[in-house]
Amino acid sequence: MTSAQGAGRRGVSQRVRGVLAERPWIGPLAALVVVFVLFGLATPETFLRTQNLLTMARQTVVVGVCALGMTMIIVTGGIDLSVGSVVALTTVIIAARLRDGAGPVSAAVTGVAVGGAVGAAVGVLVGRFRMMPFVVTLGTMSALRGVAKGIAKEQKIDCDPRGLDTLLVSAQGMGPGLFVALGLAVLVALTLTYTRFGRHVFAVGSNEAAARLAGIDPSHVKLLVYTLAGLAFGVGGVMEFSTLTVGDPTDSIGLELDVIAAVVIGGAPLAGGEGSVVGSILGALLMTVIKTGAVHLGLPTWVQEIVTGGIIVVAVALDRARYARR
């Protein structure tokens, strides 16, 4: 009898594990709900206000949009350390274009295009020349920061944002930027699941040799992934400009670590082959909620930092447990 019960219990845990293996974002979702409810209970009159919810959504946009690109890169088994530099460069380029009299759309498109071009260059080095993405982007992280400072002559570029500042905040409270970000997230998620290219991304990350044997060109896949990710970082730069309203070459230092953390919390191992847009977005939201909630509770920054770091480690530990069979 006890053995039958034991078998039943084991069956349940097996099934739970199966569900978790197929939907790795359930963990971060549960964590997000728990943290949200906790902060909601602790400071209901301020934390749950619509204004605060909107602010949190806005604060997540830059990390979230960049995490879309980073998710693809990490699924291929790569990494990009230059996100912060790309975002700063984008704000500088947008500001410079606006200062020179360009229209808002044209300026934004230029910024995104620069992000894509940088991504393509990284993609060529990583894909075609098989260089380590960590090293390549360690280089571009420094080099692009320098380029941004050079263009901006080591100071902020002031300009008339010409409506780009209303991308995230508008008179109605919610700007179109949020919807752009959501749309992009859906697009990337669908691409990863429903397209041939998306499956190739996972194949390259899971076993590059097997992908090559199957006739897939991993260098081509990586080139595309880094280019698309660069475009996403460019869009992130536009969003960042929208809140800054100036071009700031020293902006977003260390952003890449937040973005990587969001993807990792979302269940993507750095070894590649796994990851999901839903997980990464949840990871980004989780970090924002913790930061905002800590502010509402009046907790100092160092507490937030400890909590965020703890969550990253716990997320990876849970991930290990998920794959530890038996």
Query: Which of 33, 42, 210, 257 is the binder for other proteins (CB under 8 A)?
Result: 210
Q: CA angle 293-299-300, nearest 5°?
A: 120
Which range in 10-18, 136-144, 174-182, 282-290 contacts other proteins by CB under 8 A?
Answer: 10-18
How many C-beta atoms lie closer than 10 Å to residue 1's C-beta?
A: 5
Pairwise CA distance, residues 181 & 288, whole Å: 16
Contact between 153 and other proteins per CB under 8 A? no
Within 236-295, which residues bind other proteins (CB under 8 A)?
Answer: 273-274
Contact between 211 and other proteins per CB under 8 A? yes
Q: CA angle 280-28-203, nearest 5°?
A: 45
Q: CB 109 → other proteins: shortest distance, Å?
A: 26
Q: CB 90 → other proteins: shortest distance, Å?
A: 30
Residue number, 155 or 195, with CB nearest to other proteins: 195
Polymer length of the chain: 326
Query: Which of 14, 106, 155, 301 is the binder for other proteins (CB under 8 A)?
Result: 14
H or E segment to which residue 250 belongs: none
Residue number, 112 or 223, with CB nearest to other proteins: 223
Contact between 217 and other proteins per CB under 8 A? yes
Query: Which of 153, 215, 302, 324 is the binder for other proteins (CB under 8 A)?
Result: 215
Query: Which of 26, 117, 216, 307 is the binder for other proteins (CB under 8 A)?
Result: 216
Query: Which of 202, 226, 233, 241 is the binder for other proteins (CB under 8 A)?
Result: 202
The tokens of 262 are what? 């969001």
Pairwise CA distance, residues 237 & 217, whole Å: 30
Contact between 74 and other proteins per CB under 8 A? no
Q: Is 88 left (phi over 0), alpha (psi -120 to 50) or beta?
A: alpha
Query: Which of 23, 156, 199, 296 is the binder for other proteins (CB under 8 A)?
Result: 199
Within 176-195, which residues bind other proteins (CB under 8 A)?
Answer: 193-195
Pairwise CA distance, residues 147 & 249, whole Å: 9
Pairwise CA distance, residues 30 & 51, whole Å: 24
- Closest C-alpha among 216, 260, 248, 241 to residue 69: 260
- Closest C-alpha among 179, 155, 279, 272 to residue 225: 272
* 8 A C-beta contact, residue 127 and residue 229: no
Contact between 58 and other proteins per CB under 8 A? no
Which range in 53-61, 116-124, 141-149, 215-223 contacts other proteins by CB under 8 A?
Answer: 215-223
Residue number, 153 or 325, with CB nearest to other proteins: 325
Query: Which of 58, 97, 200, 291 is the binder for other proteins (CB under 8 A)?
Result: 200
With tokens 């847009």, the residue in question is: 277
Residue number, 149 or 212, with CB nearest to other proteins: 212
Pairwise CA distance, residues 320 & 235, whole Å: 33
Using CA atoms, how far residue 165 sits from 162, 241, 244, 251, 266, in Å, is 7, 7, 8, 16, 30
Identify the bridge partners of residue 204 per DSSP, sorted by sequence position.
none
Query: Which of 26, 197, 270, 318 is the binder for other proteins (CB under 8 A)?
Result: 197
Query: Which of 206, 219, 243, 308 is the binder for other proteins (CB under 8 A)?
Result: 206
Which range in 54-62, 140-148, 155-163, 196-204 contacts other proteins by CB under 8 A?
Answer: 196-204
Strands 246-247 and 157-158: antiparallel
Q: CB 322 → other proteins: shortest distance, Å?
A: 12
Residue numbers of the site for other proteins (CB under 8 A)? 7, 10-11, 13-14, 21-22, 193-197, 199-200, 202-203, 206-207, 209-217, 273-274, 325-326
